[in-house]
């Protein structure tokens, strides 16, 4: 049985750390698992689009949002889908819930109907973790990291995106095709946050389903 498990949340929430630990745990328990980023912050696509947005702040944000959805769907079809077909559980560091929440953060539509059509082409997430932290905590972590993208990693945008993540989680309208959504306290000690992730993953794995 192969599952698609996604980690979402605002920048600086701790998604990547928990995603890596989940992949290690899955492998330790004898399951084939891979960590995937369908859009990487150091990819040519992201860097080119981010530079364009920062240089031209009046760029059509709706068009930019649609480009992000298209790129994620394209990469999900190219990387995630083949792994699932081979029976590998995929842990995604960010997935379509990020596009929905950050669209709200930028006060734009989620790519309109075309965006949803593109999203529907990609494999749905069976379980999504929303790692939640206050914006002030996220901003401190981002500052320590070094390079920041001011069009996205600013307090106003992160505040709106955080609200959207929590609203989507509460409504279970995950946008990752309706899979379970679990909110993780990203300010908790790492071990406590990890235990919450592990327990939720164990429960979902015990339910079966997924891809065989």
Residue 116 and residue 73 in contact, taking contact as beta carbons nearer than 8 Å: no
pLDDT (0 to 100) of residue 90: 97
pLDDT at 174: 42
**Domain-located, residue 63:** yes
- The CA distance from 148 to 156, in Å, is 15
User: Tell me, what CATH number does 52's domain have?
Assistant: 3.40.50.300
Mean pLDDT by 10 residues, the chain (212 residues): 93 94 97 91 72 77 82 92 96 91 81 79 93 95 79 87 91 58 96 97 82 58
Domain for residue 11, yes or no?
Answer: yes
Domain-embedded: residue 93 = yes
Query: Cα-Cα-Cα-Cα dihedral of 179, 41, 36, 176, to 10°?
Result: 10
Q: What CA–CA distance (Å, rounded) separates 166 from 10?
A: 11
Q: Per the domain annotation, does 212 fall within a domain?
A: no
Q: Which residues pair with 7 in a beta bridge?
A: 93, 129
Output the pLDDT for position 172: 60
- Structure tokens given for 61: 């944000």
Domains in the chain, number: 1
Within 8 A by CB and 6+ apart from 199, the residues are: none
Q: For 19-38, how does the pLDDT look when each residue is reduced to its tens digit (9 = 90+)?
A: 999 999 999 999 999 999 98
| pLDDT on residue 176 | 46
CB atoms within 10 A of CB 67: 15
16 in a domain, yes or no? Answer: yes
Instruction: Read off the DSSP letter of residue 57.
Output: T
Instruction: Provide DSSP, 106-166.
Output: TT--SSHHHHHHHHHHSPPPSEEEEEE--HHHHHHHHHHH----TTTSSHHHHHHHHHHHH
Q: Is residue 137 part of a domain?
A: yes
Residue 65 inside a domain? The answer is yes
Going by C-alpha positions, the residue among 110, 80, 109 that lies closest to residue 94 is: 80
> Would the pTM of this model clear 0.85, i.e. be above it?
yes
Question: Could you tell me if residue 189 is inside a domain?
Answer: yes
The domain containing residue 27 runs over which residues? 4-207
Where are the strands (E) in the chain, listed by range? 4-8, 33-36, 89-93, 127-132, 180-185
């Amino acid at each position: 049985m192969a599952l698609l498990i996604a980690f979402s949340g605002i920048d600086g929430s701790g998604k990547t750390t928990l995603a890596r630990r989940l992949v290690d745990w899955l492998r330790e328990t004898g399951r084939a698992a891979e960590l995937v980023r369908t859009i990487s912050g150091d990819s040519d696509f992201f860097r080119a689009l981010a530079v364009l947005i920062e240089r031209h702040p009046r760029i059509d944000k709706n068009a930019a949002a649609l480009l992000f959805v298209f790129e994620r769907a394209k990469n999900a079809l190219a990387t995630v889908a083949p792994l699932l077909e081979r029976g590998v559980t995929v842990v995604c560091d960010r997935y379509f819930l990020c596009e929905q929440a950050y669209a709200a953060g930028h006060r734009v539509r989620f790519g309109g109907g075309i965006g949803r059509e593109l999203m529907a082409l990609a494999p749905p997430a069976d379980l999504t973790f929303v790692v939640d932290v206050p914006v002030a905590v996220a901003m401190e972590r981002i500052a320590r990291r070094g390079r920041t993208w001011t069009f996205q990693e600013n307090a106003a945008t992160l505040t709106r995106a955080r609200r959207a993540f929590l609203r989507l989680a509460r409504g279970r309208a995950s946008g990752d095709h309706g899979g379970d959504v679990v909110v993780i306290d990203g300010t908790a000690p790492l071990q406590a946050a990890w235990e919450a992730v592990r327990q939720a993953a164990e429960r979902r794995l015990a339910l079966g389903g997924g891809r065989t």
